[in-house]
Amino acid sequence: MRKTIFKKLEAQGLIINYNRLRKNLPPKLPKKVRIWDETFREGIKTPTTFLTYVEQVKLAKQMDETGIATINLGLPTLSENEKQNIKRLVNETFKNAALTASAQPSQKSVDACLETGIKQITIETPFNQLNLKYRLKQSQQQTLQKTTEAIKYALKHGATVHFMLIDGSRTSLEDIQQIFQAAADAGAATLGIADTVGFLRPLSTRYLISHIRDNLPENIRKKTLLAIHCHNDFGLATANTLAAVEEGVTELHTSIAGFGERAGISPFEEVVAALELLYNIDTGIDLAKINRLSQTAEKAFALPLQFHKPIVGENIFAHELEEQIEESMAYPLLFEPFPPEIVGRETSLFVGRNTGQTLIQQLLEKAGIRASPRQMAELFLHIKGPQERLDKGEVQMTFYQVKKLMRDLLKGYSMDEFWRLVEQITHQKPKLPTVNKTQKPEDE
């Protein structure tokens, strides 16, 4: 249905679909992509949220049923509990999805993955000067050596290896090519760029991906896949992911509802719906199961989805009657971008404050109901009354109480609170270094 409905409307001369114009279809656009889920890796970075094992299993099973190609189960070195949960998930049965786990480029981190029984390992490291100097505190050569050794070590133990360049969007093309070449030569099957702080815009993404691809030797382009991992700090994660696809990238990192640290990463439902409906690209996803998966994630994370969130928000297919009901029911595409059934939703029409009295009278007449002026006035009072009768101050107070409850639920320990707790338990006063929170670059 999703592939024919727009064509029918075009053929009848009812709409123009600029997405289908040949000049708007990039030449490197792939016919098929693979969705790589990062909900367990990125989603749990949402401050102080956590998933029980039962919740993880339920989500992973639904991801598998929905058609997600790869599920990153997380970072085994995070904790012993995390490693044991990953080990248990690996022993579950999945029909479609491949499973991977993340590791730093070290034998210890790779061993933690191998101990879970995982067959695919994603090795992650940054490589720009900022990270080398202040995070890794090591040279480029040391990082290259550790990365290649970790990849070869994982391969030696029977794992398929993927490589993800952290903060790749702020790394020079020369350095990207150097570490990608080393990772591919060591045996990595996938080379990924992470826009770790969400700093790219779509045209910049296309520039970066095209130059990375063109600078890789032909033998590496043939044997490796390119992946993209976009954060949403500027609200551009979906747009940047789509821009990467326009340059031929086929491994797409997403998270259900975009859950993740800070502003999260590319929302699964947005990327998939856009690729299927705007680009006509096969994602392998059963779109009808998107909404159910989002609802499961919302419940597990105990984080309500925005009502106006694209694709899965409460309001996206809800409409207040302002025109003839026959038109609204018969031609929902007058005010919807696509039939909601495609993503497991349905159109919801309601009578509310903005529904005119004349339209309400017409609704009653068509239903065979004759109402007196007094009855119409009472009916209209009920329709418009609830919100007007509410004390706006009381509503706002309730809203802020709910917001505070959510904030308290998600709150961890601030650093000051943490050190006070440490001092209380250990009876030792911590000797803390002075941190300059507004440190400026050395050349200023």
Query: Percentage of the chain with pLDDT > 70?
Result: 92
Euclidean distance between CA atoms 331 and 147, whole angstroms: 57
Average pLDDT taken over every residue of the chain = 90
What's the pLDDT score for residue 444?
Answer: 44
Alpha-helical regions (H) of 91-137: 107-114, 129-131
Higher pLDDT residue, 12 or 272? 272
pLDDT tier, 18 (very low <50, low <70, confident <90, very high otherwise): very high
Q: Could you report the per-residue pLDDT of 241-290, keeping only the tens digit for each?
A: 999 999 999 999 999 999 999 999 999 999 999 999 999 999 999 999 99
Q: What is the DSSP letter of 228?
A: E
With 0-12 CB in 10 A as exposed, 13-18 as middle and 19+ as buried, what is 75?
Answer: buried
Question: What is the average pLDDT across 54-71?
Answer: 98
Could you name the CATH architecture of 5-301?
Alpha-Beta Barrel (3.20)
What's the pLDDT score for residue 159?
Answer: 98
CA angle 382, 388, 391 (to 5 degrees): 130
What's the pLDDT score for residue 237?
Answer: 98
Question: What is the average pLDDT across 165-188?
Answer: 98
Using alpha carbons, select from 261, 88, 231 the residue that is nearest to residue 166: 231
Q: Is the pLDDT of residue 6 over 70?
A: yes
pLDDT tier, 419 (very low <50, low <70, confident <90, very high otherwise): confident
Question: What is the average pLDDT across 391-415?
Answer: 75
What's the pLDDT score for residue 362?
Answer: 79
Euclidean distance between CA atoms 396 and 402, whole angstroms: 10
Euclidean distance between CA atoms 296 and 45, whole angstroms: 18
Using alpha carbons, select from 165, 139, 140, 172 the residue that is nearest to residue 151: 165
CA angle 386, 313, 310 (to 5 degrees): 130
Domain boundaries defined on the chain: 5-301, 318-389, 395-426
Euclidean distance between CA atoms 310 and 312, whole angstroms: 6
Report CA Rg, the chain: 26
With 0-12 CB in 10 A as exposed, 13-18 as middle and 19+ as buried, what is 405?
Answer: exposed
Query: Percentage of the chain with pLDDT > 90?
Result: 66
What's the pLDDT score for residue 443?
Answer: 47
Euclidean distance between CA atoms 54 and 225, whole angstroms: 33
Alpha-helical regions (H) of 24-171: 53-66, 80-90, 107-114, 129-131, 140-156
Question: What is the average pLDDT across 189-207?
Answer: 98
Euclidean distance between CA atoms 209 and 168, whole angstroms: 11
Q: Could you report the per-residue pLDDT of 125-172, keeping only the tens digit for each?
A: 999 999 999 999 999 999 999 999 999 999 999 999 999 999 999 999
Using alpha carbons, select from 216, 217, 228, 156 the residue that is nearest to residue 186: 156
Q: Is the pLDDT of residue 437 over 60?
A: no
Euclidean distance between CA atoms 309 and 270, whole angstroms: 9
CA distances from 364 to 353, 368, 369, 376 (A): 17, 6, 5, 10
Euclidean distance between CA atoms 418 and 388, whole angstroms: 46
Dihedral angle sign, alpha carbons of residues 353, 355, 357, 362? negative
What's the pLDDT score for residue 388?
Answer: 57
Contact (Cβ atoms closer than 8 angstroms) between residue 126 and residue 135: yes
Strand ranges (E), 4-79: 34-37, 70-72
Higher pLDDT residue, 207 or 324? 207
CA atoms within 13 A on the CB side of 19: 16
Q: Is the pLDDT of residue 439 over 60?
A: no
pLDDT tier, 385 (very low <50, low <70, confident <90, very high otherwise): low
What's the pLDDT score for residue 71?
Answer: 98
Token digits of residue 296: 């499961």
Higher pLDDT residue, 345 or 385? 345
